[in-house]
């Protein structure tokens, strides 16, 4: 009967939790795939329960709630004022002439008061929303901080199990859902509670019997709502899962486009994609059906209240048991209640989604990093940077990757590791900076068990140039300087970068680039060739001037001649450092102090270059073959 | 800190590009996809006035109830009105559900068609396009952007239309009931318009900022999560986390601004609505006192005013959806408009400057012929220069040369992945430009260095959906190339799962699978780009045998990295800077005393005849 704006605090489009509810639309970067299970060991880390998350925002929330109560209070005065004015007017209608001026005066004052209340309400409402939504955003912010920091410390095995896409989805979509829970979710729940309590009290005050009749349908509504929202949640999850499947299929088609073209698979892939897309369509429509029914259902229930009031209340007025003004006010309060009722369905959906997302986020946060510092570890003084591995055995998924491998590298010595793919070379060197969990008493750096060293200290000692050179979206210079310790002055930084670039054989390439060392290289260094990327990664390791240098086949994409040049340049640098070189090019490792030949996880041969050649085994035959191929200009 | 700011700002700048709210050209193109479902759309649009009619009937019925029954205390007829009110309610919400569902059906189906069309088109684009377009970008266009367009249907244009209809009807009824009061009530509209304009600008800036900061944050996350090992190996977690804090903060601040703007807008609209009611009360009350207005009409008007303001609240959100959809549409149609197709006609090449050598046109024993082929990925930087080459049927040709000499390029031209700027390539006397890509690629199969496997099963990867690839055929093909050991090494055999990109198979195993895949195709012409030699002699022998099996009795071109392959070839060509430097059989080259001879002498020097001589 009277305008519904006096009602509750529903923001944005009703019944559409996915759209901008607090007025802001987040574009999901990645569609959310089905959450995978991860190793969940509970540790007391970042706040895992809702309570500690909310506590810092309690001030904002309490203030916001109080303002919300005030908003509602002001909102409620409007129907009450209206009631008074209506009653007077109605009296007037019945008896024109008598006291007209007084009535008009009263109505004018009432109108002015309503306007005042409206303005006051606007102010208070603005602040209540700002406070509560910001509380939600703050929780999101802190969660994201905690998540990122947590992820920074997770072990490589974790990132093998969980793709970047998965993790990104949790950090965007799931955090969004959690924020909706803590912001608009809480706002609407509190608001609904306040409104219901005050509204019902006022209604009872006017007419207990009518109130009973009017709110009778509500319990049915609640039950229906819960069932319905569970259906919606199921449909929503199904759709999201299918979206994940669709995206994965698409990603494959794009990543393997060369194969798709070469094997003329276009039609087959199109057909497969069409099937997946149809599946998505079906689920999206199922969700639309479920969701589409919710709002009308709630709205209908709300409006039914008005109908009951009109019908039964009208009778009451006709029978003289109730004044018209009271009826009007009753209806106004009922309408006031109807908005939160309509929102209830939406609130339930938000809560369900938010809690599910919260569970996933918490799961992520509670996964302990498999490789972490022991308790109470502090930096210890180190001896000379020697590296020692004793009887290392690594088993992964039932396969033996390394079997009783032992090596000793004195400080300043160079170890070379050669062997076929899959022989365990990378796994072996991953053990040194603890990218692989090893038992105690197996890996020693600087004379100390790696478990006794804080990971930060250990890794700062080691300069690692991997086979797969990953570069950040930054200039070449910034990439090379990545490992430099903070707090260096600009001149020192520039000097070290220049030295590293020179040693890695990049000077010529940089001269050919448009902006030299300031050239921007895209995600994964896309504008550079494979060999150039590897050399930048090498320079990065060198610039850090580490005590221990590990080069994992980091010159594999560089041709033999260039590799020889770089190795010559590296020789003086390597002399002062303990180094481990992995290569499948035997000529590159000729100068090493000790060469170890890996075969199926075991050390097949060990010795110096001369010793191994004389032995005439695996190493020897390999060396000859590669040398010959090189002369032919053939790549090995 | 500057480094992070600098590089992430580049991402932000891109995201700040703001689309128009309504672009007619884009809407027209979109409507082409909707046209197929025009009937459903028409029905849903027709439902709109129906919904509004039901909705507006309610206050009218209320007015009558009050004026004719409740106020004058007249009971009979109240029941009937109540029933009508119920019908109006059910009608309104029933029709509303039908409408919104129909719109969704149309929208989802139309966007599904669009998604399939884009997919189909993208698969037809040429290799050069894929070389320069990052997958991530394509993925966003084909998933997120199309999602944004679907959102358009769900909560954008159509409901705006509904709102316009409803507002129109309300205004019409109000004016019919009492013109003076109606004009008075409408006084709030210009006020709202001004307020909306003010806030609109504020909010658009806020949203744009949010998009920019979100892109920046996602780019940062994506990068640093992909490169987490680098971060950890240089012990830079703390620094990277601090950089992230800055990015995270920026996002939060952008949101705070939007929250403030949105809260203010919402509250002001509500306030205006309440004040409008207050004014109505004041004016209406005066007229009732003067006897010129019925009480029921006042109540009715107050009701209508409420319905009038309701849709305006959602307007802001809906306009945002529209804007995002327009931007998305622009990007999606950008892909569809790309005409760089993988077809000979579409390639910007010059016609063959020299006719195909007459000997190949009439010589049925020639399987492959390159005639004066010049090609460069960039037209001004040729990789192959005036290269001419003939390969006889059943011959195995080995190609050797330094890296960058043009070997890989040569084999990319044969299946038509790229097209030469000059010259012609023919297969069995037929210019490959005359063949459809699908047909050409059935005759020429390429086995690459870098083996790409699809997620699925081992069997799928070997059979590749070919109906003639029965498990027996696949197993046979695998056996012939030595890939049966790979199948045997997995408990599930052919049903063994293959992870993304074949990460759960070693490089050697992937090679063998690729051989099996090629053999299964039984191609006319085989092109093999050998992977770098592995050290393990046993696996090496298996691969060598596999290669031999592949090339037996088949026209083959192999970029050789193994001495054994080179020796086994019928003919060897040595490429140097895009041209053939030496050519001939093993013995001829030896006698020529060139590069090849040098190798032979090296072997003798070492005094170890080696495996090859022993064979």
- The Cα A68–Cα B430 span in angstroms is 80
Helix axes of A186-206 and A208-215: crossing angle, nearest 10 degrees: 140
CB contact under 8 A, A307 and B500: no
| A615 interfaces chain B, CB cutoff of 8 Å | no
CB contact under 8 A, A421 and B271: no
| A95 interfaces chain B, CB cutoff of 8 Å | no
B335: Cβ–Cβ under 8 A, 6 or more apart, which residues?
Answer: B118, B121, B122, B138, B141, B142
- Give yes or no for a contact between A621 and B537, defined as CB atoms under 8 angstroms apart: yes
- The Cα A193–Cα B287 span in angstroms is 39
A169: Cβ–Cβ under 8 A, 6 or more apart, which residues?
Answer: A28, A29, A30, A31, A32, A33
Chain B contact probe: residue of A148, A509, A554 with most B CBs at under 10 A: A148
Q: What is the DSSP letter of A482?
A: G
Supply B512's token pair. 């063998």
With CA atoms as reference, the chain B residue closest to A263 would be B441
CB contact under 8 A, B533 and A629: yes
Q: What is the DSSP letter of B125?
A: B
CB contact under 8 A, B317 and A20: yes
pLDDT band at B232 (very low <50, low <70, confident <90, very high): very high
Supply A150's token pair. 């947590």
C-alpha closest to that of B195 among B309, B98, B116: B309
Tens digits of per-residue pLDDT, A519-555? 878 654 446 777 788 889 999 999 998 999 999 877 7
Residue with tokens 């197993």: B475
Residue A394's DSSP bridge partners are A402
- The Cα A333–Cα A198 span in angstroms is 10
Can you tell me whether residue A209 is helix, strand or coil? helix
CB contact under 8 A, A634 and B267: no
CB contact under 8 A, A111 and B285: yes
Average pLDDT for B408-418: 87
| Mean pLDDT for chain B overall | 80
Average pLDDT for B175-202: 83
- Give yes or no for a contact between A582 and A426, defined as CB atoms under 8 angstroms apart: yes
Average pLDDT for A96-108: 75
- Please compute, for residue A352, the number of CA atoms within 13 A of its CA located in the half-sphere on the CB side: 20
Can you tell me whether residue B385 is helix, strand or coil? strand
With CA atoms as reference, the chain B residue closest to A294 would be B97
Chain B contact probe: residue of A263, A341, A458, A496 with most B CBs at under 10 A: A263
A600: left (phi over 0), alpha (psi -120 to 50) or beta: left
Percent of chain A at pLDDT > 70 equals 87
Burial class (CB in 10 A: 0-12, 13-18, 19+), B247: buried
pLDDT score at B3 = 47
Q: Above 70 in pLDDT, residue B79?
A: yes
Q: Which residues of B touch A289 (CB under 8 A)?
A: 101
- The Cα A118–Cα A83 span in angstroms is 16
- DSSP H helices, A41-99, are 50-54, 58-94
Chain B contact probe: residue of A2, A5, A329, A556 with most B CBs at under 10 A: A5
pLDDT score at B403 = 57
- Give yes or no for a contact between A577 and A585, defined as CB atoms under 8 angstroms apart: no
Pairing of strands A578-582, B384-392: unpaired
| A568 interfaces chain B, CB cutoff of 8 Å | no
ipTM of the complex: 0.79
CB contact under 8 A, A156 and B229: yes
Chain A contact probe: residue of B98, B536, B582 with most A CBs at under 10 A: B536
Can you tell me whether residue A504 is helix, strand or coil? coil
- Give yes or no for a contact between A318 and B78, defined as CB atoms under 8 angstroms apart: yes
Burial class (CB in 10 A: 0-12, 13-18, 19+), B16: exposed
Q: Which residues of A touch B109 (CB under 8 A)?
A: 281
CB contact under 8 A, B270 and A118: yes
With CA atoms as reference, the chain A residue closest to B563 would be A629
With CA atoms as reference, the chain A residue closest to B221 would be A168
Average pLDDT for B231-238: 91
Supply B114's token pair. 């669009």
Tens digits of per-residue pLDDT, B448-471? 877 888 888 888 889 887 777 888
Helix axes of A217-255 and A266-308: crossing angle, nearest 10 degrees: 160
Q: What are phi and psi of A383, to 5 degrees?
A: -80, -155
Residue with tokens 């919260």: A358
Q: Above 50 in pLDDT, residue A259?
A: yes
CB contact under 8 A, B534 and A421: yes
pLDDT band at A596 (very low <50, low <70, confident <90, very high): very high
Average pLDDT for B543-562: 83
Tens digits of per-residue pLDDT, A416-446? 998 776 678 888 888 999 998 889 999 999 8
Please say whether the dihedral angle defined by the alpha carbons of residues A44, A46, A50 and A52, taken in this order, is positive or negative: positive
Helix (H) or strand (E) holding B288: helix B237-289
- Give yes or no for a contact between A444 and A453, defined as CB atoms under 8 angstroms apart: no
- The Cα B79–Cα B445 span in angstroms is 82
Chain B contact probe: residue of A13, A23, A461, A586 with most B CBs at under 10 A: A23
pLDDT score at A18 = 29
Q: Which residues of B touch A635 (CB under 8 A)?
A: 403, 532, 561
Q: Which residues of B touch A624 (CB under 8 A)?
A: 603, 606, 608, 610
* Chain center to CA of B588: 53
CB contact under 8 A, A24 and B262: yes
- Give yes or no for a contact between A198 and A72, defined as CB atoms under 8 angstroms apart: yes
Helix (H) or strand (E) holding B437: helix B437-443
Q: What is the DSSP letter of B379?
A: T
pLDDT score at A151 = 93
Of residues B534 and B310, more confidence is placed in B310
Chain A contact probe: residue of B113, B317, B509 with most A CBs at under 10 A: B317
- Please compute, for residue B596, the number of CA atoms within 13 A of its CA located in the half-sphere on the CB side: 24
Task: For B400-424, give the DSSP string.
Answer: EE-TTSSHHHHHHHTTTSS--SEEE
Q: Above 70 in pLDDT, residue A79?
A: yes
Pairing of strands A448-449, A443-445: antiparallel
C-alpha closest to that of B423 among B359, B355, B352, B357: B352
Q: Which residues of A touch B151 (CB under 8 A)?
A: 18-19
Tens digits of per-residue pLDDT, B471-512? 888 988 888 888 888 888 888 888 888 877 777 777 778 888
Helix (H) or strand (E) holding B448: none
* Chain center to CA of B465: 23
Of residues A99 and B533, more confidence is placed in A99
Could you tell me the strand order of the sheet in which B571-576 lies? B444-447, B525-529, B555-559, B396-401, B571-576, B579-584
With CA atoms as reference, the chain B residue closest to A111 would be B278
pLDDT score at B307 = 78
| Strands annotated E in A364-436 | 387-396, 399-409, 414-418
Closest CB from A164, A273, A435 relative to B226? A164
Q: Which residues of A touch B402 (CB under 8 A)?
A: 559, 633
Closest CB from A138, A148, A262 relative to B441? A262
Average pLDDT for A12-18: 27
- The Cα B111–Cα B485 span in angstroms is 46
pTM: 0.71
pLDDT score at B16 = 55
Write out residues 442-471 of A within 8 Å (CB-CB) of B: 455-457, 459-460, 462-464, 466, 470
pLDDT score at A636 = 41
CB contact under 8 A, A472 and B227: yes
Shortest distance between the Cα of B36 and any Cα of chain A, in A, equals: 16
Q: Above 50 in pLDDT, residue B279?
A: yes
Supply A204's token pair. 């009872």
Within 10 angstroms of residue A274's Cβ, the number of other Cβ atoms is 15
- The Cα A64–Cα A329 span in angstroms is 28
Closest CB from A18, A22, A25 relative to B320? A25
- The Cα B212–Cα A429 span in angstroms is 41
Supply A326's token pair. 């009271």
Q: Above 70 in pLDDT, residue A113?
A: yes
CB contact under 8 A, A107 and B138: no
Residue B390's DSSP bridge partners are B369
CB contact under 8 A, B248 and A257: no
Average pLDDT for B273-290: 84
Shortest distance between the Cα of A78 and any Cα of chain B, in A, equals: 9
Tens digits of per-residue pLDDT, A138-153? 989 999 999 999 999 9
Helix (H) or strand (E) holding A520: strand A520-521
- Give yes or no for a contact between A85 and B285, defined as CB atoms under 8 angstroms apart: yes
Chain A contact probe: residue of B70, B341, B446 with most A CBs at under 10 A: B70
C-alpha closest to that of A457 among A520, A526, A547: A547
Average pLDDT for B8-13: 55
Burial class (CB in 10 A: 0-12, 13-18, 19+), B600: middle
pLDDT score at A116 = 92
CB contact under 8 A, B144 and A421: no
Average pLDDT for B250-266: 88
Q: Above 70 in pLDDT, residue B405?
A: no
- The Cα A545–Cα A539 span in angstroms is 10
pLDDT score at B17 = 54
- The Cα A241–Cα A237 span in angstroms is 6
Tens digits of per-residue pLDDT, B135-187? 777 877 788 788 888 877 776 567 777 778 888 888 898 899 888 888 888 88
CB contact under 8 A, A118 and B275: yes
| A630 interfaces chain B, CB cutoff of 8 Å | no
A259: Cβ–Cβ under 8 A, 6 or more apart, which residues?
Answer: A265, B452, B454
Q: Above 80 in pLDDT, residue A590?
A: yes
pLDDT score at B1 = 40
pLDDT band at A32 (very low <50, low <70, confident <90, very high): very low
Shortest distance between the Cα of A538 and any Cα of chain B, in A, equals: 12
Report chain B's terminal Cα–Cα distance, integer Å.
Answer: 63
- The Cα A329–Cα B589 span in angstroms is 106
Tens digits of per-residue pLDDT, A490-514? 899 999 999 999 988 888 888 877 7
Shortest distance between the Cα of B259 and any Cα of chain A, in A, equals: 6
3-state secondary structure B519-552: HHHCCCEEEEECCCCCCCHHHHHHHHHHHHHHHC
Q: Which residues of A touch B58 (CB under 8 A)?
A: 303
Report chain A's terminal Cα–Cα distance, integer Å.
Answer: 85
With CA atoms as reference, the chain A residue closest to B605 would be A624
- The Cα B270–Cα A357 span in angstroms is 33
């Amino acid at each position: 009967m009277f305008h519904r704006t006096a009602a509750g605090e529903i923001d944005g489009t009703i019944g559409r939790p996915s759209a901008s509810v607090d007025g802001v639309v987040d574009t999901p970067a990645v569609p959310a795939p089905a959450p995978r299970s991860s190793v969940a060991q509970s540790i007391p880390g970042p706040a895992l329960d809702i309570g500690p998350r909310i506590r810092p925002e309690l001030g904002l929330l309490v203030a916001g709630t109080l303002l919300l109560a005030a908003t509602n209070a002001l909102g409620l005065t409007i129907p009450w004022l209206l009631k008074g004015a209506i009653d007077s007017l109605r009296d007037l209608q019945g008896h024109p002439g008598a006291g007209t001026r007084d009535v008009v005066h009263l109505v004018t004052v009432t109108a002015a008061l309503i306007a005042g209340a409206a303005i006051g309400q606007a102010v208070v409402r603005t602040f209540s929303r700002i406070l509560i939504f910001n509380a939600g955003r703050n929780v999101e912010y802190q969660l994201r901080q905690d998540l990122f920091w947590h992820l920074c410390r997770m072990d490589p095995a974790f990132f093998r199990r969980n793709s970047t896409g998965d993790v990104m989805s949790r950090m965007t979509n799931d955090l969004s859902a959690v924020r909706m829970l803590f912001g608009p979710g809480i706002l609407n729940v509190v608001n609904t509670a306040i409104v219901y309590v005050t509204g019902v009290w006022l209604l009872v005050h006017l007419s207990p019997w009518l109130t009973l009749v009017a709110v009778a349908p509500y319990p049915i509504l609640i039950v229906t709502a819960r069932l319905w929202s569970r259906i919606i949640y199921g449909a929503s999850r199904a759709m999201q899962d299918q979206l994940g499947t669709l995206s994965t299929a698409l990603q494959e088609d794009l990543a393997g486009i060369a194969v798709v073209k070469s094997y003329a698979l276009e039609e087959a892939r199109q057909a497969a994609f069409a099937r997946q897309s149809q599946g998505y369509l079906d689920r999206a429509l199922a969700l639309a059906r479920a969701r589409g029914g919710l709002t009308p259902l709630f709205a209908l229930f709300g409006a039914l209240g008005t109908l009951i009031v009109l019908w039964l209340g009208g009778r009451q007025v006709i029978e003289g048991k109730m004044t018209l003004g009271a009826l009007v006010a009753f209806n106004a309060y009922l309408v006031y209640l109807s908005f939160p009722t309509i929102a209830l369905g939406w609130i339930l959906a938000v809560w369900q989604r938010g809690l599910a997302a919260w569970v996933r986020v918490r799961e992520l946060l509670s996964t302990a990093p498999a490789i972490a510092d022991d308790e109470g570890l502090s930096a210890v003084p180190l001896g000379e940077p020697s590296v020692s591995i004793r009887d290392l055995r690594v088993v992964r998924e039932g396969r033996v990757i390394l079997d009783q491998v032992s090596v000793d590298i004195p400080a300043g010595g160079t170890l070379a590791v050669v062997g076929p793919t899959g022989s365990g070379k990378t796994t072996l060197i991953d053990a040194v900076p603890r990218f692989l969990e090893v038992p105690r008493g197996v890996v020693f750096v600087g004379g100390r068990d790696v478990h006794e060293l804080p990971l930060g200290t250990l890794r700062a000692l080691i300069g690692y140039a991997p086979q797969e050179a990953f570069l950040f979206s930054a200039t070449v210079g910034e990439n090379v300087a990545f490992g430099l310790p903070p707090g260096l002055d600009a001149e020192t930084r520039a000097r070290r970068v220049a030295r590293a670039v020179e040693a890695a054989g990049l000077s010529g390439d940089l001269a050919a680039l448009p902006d030299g060392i300031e050239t921007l290289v895209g995600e994964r260094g896309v504008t550079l060739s494979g060999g150039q990327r590897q050399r930048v990664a090498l320079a990065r390791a060198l610039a850090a001037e580490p005590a221990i240098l590990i080069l994992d086949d980091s010159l594999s994409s560089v041709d033999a001649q260039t590799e020889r040049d770089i190795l010559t340049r590296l020789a003086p640098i390597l002399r002062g450092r303990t180094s481990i070189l992995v290569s499948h090019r035997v000529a590159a490792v000729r100068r090493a102090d000790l060469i170890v030949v890996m075969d199926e996880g075991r050390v097949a041969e060990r010795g110096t270059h001369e010793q191994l050649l004389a032995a005439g085994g695996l190493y020897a035959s390999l060396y000859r073959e590669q040398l010959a191929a090189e002369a032919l200009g053939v790549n090995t | 800190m500057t480094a992070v700011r600098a590089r992430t700002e580049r991402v932000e700048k891109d995201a700040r590009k703001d689309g128009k709210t309504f672009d007619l050209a884009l809407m027209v193109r979109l409507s082409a996809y909707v046209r197929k479902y025009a009937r459903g759309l028409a029905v849903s649009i027709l439902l709109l006035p129906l919904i509004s009619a039901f909705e507006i009937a309610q206050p009218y019925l209320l007015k009558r109830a009050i004026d004719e029954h409740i106020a004058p205390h007249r009971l009979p007829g109240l029941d009937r009105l109540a029933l009508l009110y119920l019908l109006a309610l059910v009608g309104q919400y029933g029709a509303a559900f039908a409408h919104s569902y129909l719109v969704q059906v149309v929208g989802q189906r139309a966007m599904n068609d669009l998604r399939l069309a884009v997919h189909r088109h993208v698969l037809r684009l040429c290799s050069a396009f894929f070389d320069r377009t990052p997958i991530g970008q394509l993925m966003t266009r084909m998933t997120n952007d199309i999602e944004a367009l679907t959102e358009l249907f769900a909560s954008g244009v159509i409901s705006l239309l509904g709102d316009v209809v409803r507002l129109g009807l309300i205004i019409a009824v109000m004016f019919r009931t009492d013109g003076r009061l109606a004009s008075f009530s409408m006084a709030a509209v210009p006020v709202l318009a001004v307020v909306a304009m003010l806030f609109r600008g504020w909010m658009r800036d806020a949203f744009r900022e949010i998009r920019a900061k979100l892109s920046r944050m996602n780019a940062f996350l994506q990068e640093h999560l992909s490169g987490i090992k680098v971060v950890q190996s240089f012990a830079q977690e703390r620094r990277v986390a601090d950089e992230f804090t800055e990015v995270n903060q920026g996002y939060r601040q952008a949101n705070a601004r939007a929250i403030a703007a949105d809260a203010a807008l919402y509250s002001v609209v509500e306030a205006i609505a309440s004040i409008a009611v207050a004014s109505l009360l004041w004016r209406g009350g005066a007229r009732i006192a003067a006897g010129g207005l019925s009480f029921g009409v006042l109540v009715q008007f107050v009701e209508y005013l409420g319905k009038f303001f309701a849709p305006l609240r959602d307007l802001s959100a809906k306009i945002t959806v529209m804007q995002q959809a327009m931007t998305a549409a622009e990007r999606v149609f950008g892909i569809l408009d790309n005409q760089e197709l993988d077809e000979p006609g579409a390639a910007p090449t010059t016609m063959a400057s020299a006719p195909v050598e007459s000997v190949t046109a009439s010589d049925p024993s020639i399987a492959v012929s390159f005639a004066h082929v010049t090609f460069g990925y960039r037209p001004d930087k040729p990789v192959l220069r005036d290269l001419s080459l003939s390969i006889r049927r059943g011959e195995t040709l080995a190609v050797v040369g330094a890296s960058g000499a043009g070997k890989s390029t040569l084999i990319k031209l044969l299946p038509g992945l790229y097209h030469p700027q000059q010259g012609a390539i023919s297969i069995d006397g037929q210019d490959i430009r005359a063949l459809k890509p699908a047909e050409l690629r059935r005759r020429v199969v390429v086995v690459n260095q870098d083996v790409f496997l699809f997620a699925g099963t081992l069997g799928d990867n070997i059979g590749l959906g070919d109906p003639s690839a029965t498990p027996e055929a696949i197993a046979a093909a695998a056996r012939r190339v030595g890939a049966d050991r790979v199948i045997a090494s997995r408990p599930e055999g052919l049903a063994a799962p293959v992870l993304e990109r074949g990460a759960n198979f070693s490089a050697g195993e992937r090679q063998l699978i690729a051989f099996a895949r090629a053999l299964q195709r039984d191609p006319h012409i085989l092109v093999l780009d050998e992977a770098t030699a592995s050290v393990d002699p046993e696996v090496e022998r298996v691969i060598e045998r596999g290669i031999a099996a592949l090339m037996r009795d088949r026209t083959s071109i192999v970029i050789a990295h193994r001495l054994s392959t080179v020796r086994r070839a019928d003919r060897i060509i040595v490429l140097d800077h895009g041209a053939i430097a030496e050519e001939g059989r093993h013995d001829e080259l030896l006698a020529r005393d060139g590069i090849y001879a040098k190798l032979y002498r090296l072997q003798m020097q070492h005094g170890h005849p080696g495996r090859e001589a022993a064979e």
